Amino acid sequence: QVLLVESGGGLVQPGGSLKLSCAALGSGFSLDWYNIGWFRQAPGKEREAVACIVSSDGSIYYDDSLKGRFTISSDNAKNTVYLQMNSLKPEDTAVYYCAADPTGWGLRDDEYTFWGQGTQVTVSS
């Protein structure tokens, strides 16, 4: 069983930054065995992809609309994947989720088996 825990969400003003963390818990589990995706879901909207990182070769993919403002990275020593979010806008307000899968990857949420509980990001003045 893979347990993913997101953190780092909160209230930020437009133009501000936040760095989300996705920690993988469980003895003997290593995030670098899994492909990791970040997704978000705003109220009343469908869940949408943000970014993903492929474990086999470190390839990174972003939703085109977010490229340049969001950066996904990983620290295997800490078993944590990060999402750095800059120049935040009110429309970035959502619950942000990380997801993991040993084989599935990409920017479709149905590729991922394991999900965290989410962390709320609110961008407002």
Residue 1 clears pLDDT 80, i.e. is over it: no
One-letter amino acid of 92: D
* Of 85 and 30, the one with more pLDDT: 85
pLDDT given at position 31: 82
Q: What is the C-alpha separation between 19 and 6, in angstroms, rounded?
A: 11
pLDDT in tens, 33-83: 899 999 999 999 999 999 999 998 999 999 999 989 999 999 988 999 999
Of residues 59, 122, 56, the one with CA closest to residue 95: 122
Q: Name the pLDDT band for 27 (thresholds 50, 70, 90).
A: low
In contact, 52 and 72? CB cutoff 8 Å? yes
- Coil, strand, or helix at residue 69? coil
Give bridge partners of residue 24 from the DSSP assignment: 4
**8 A C-beta contact, residue 84 and residue 69:** no
In the chain, the DSSP E strands lie at 3-7, 10-12, 18-25, 35-41, 48-53, 60-62, 70-75, 80-85, 94-101, 114-115, 119-123
- Tell me if residue 70 falls in helix, strand or coil: strand
